[in-house]
Amino acid sequence: MKLQNSIPDDILKIQKKMCEFQIGSRNYLKYKKILAKHTKKYAMQRRVTSNIKTIETIQRLEKER
CB 25 within 8 A of CB 1: no
- Residue 20 belongs to a domain: no
Q: How far apart are CA 47 and CA 63, in angstroms?
A: 25
Record the pTM: 0.71
pLDDT for residue 1: 44
- Residue 23 belongs to a domain: no
Alpha-carbon torsion angle 40, 45, 51, 56, nearest 10: 180
**How does DSSP classify residue 25?**
S
- Residue 38 belongs to a domain: yes
- Residue 7 belongs to a domain: no
- Residue 24 belongs to a domain: no
- Residue 49 belongs to a domain: yes
* Domains in the chain, number: 1
Q: Give residue-wise pLDDT tens across range 11-56.
A: 999 999 999 999 999 999 999 999 999 999 999 999 999 999 999 9
**Cβ neighbours around 4 below 10 Å, total:** 10
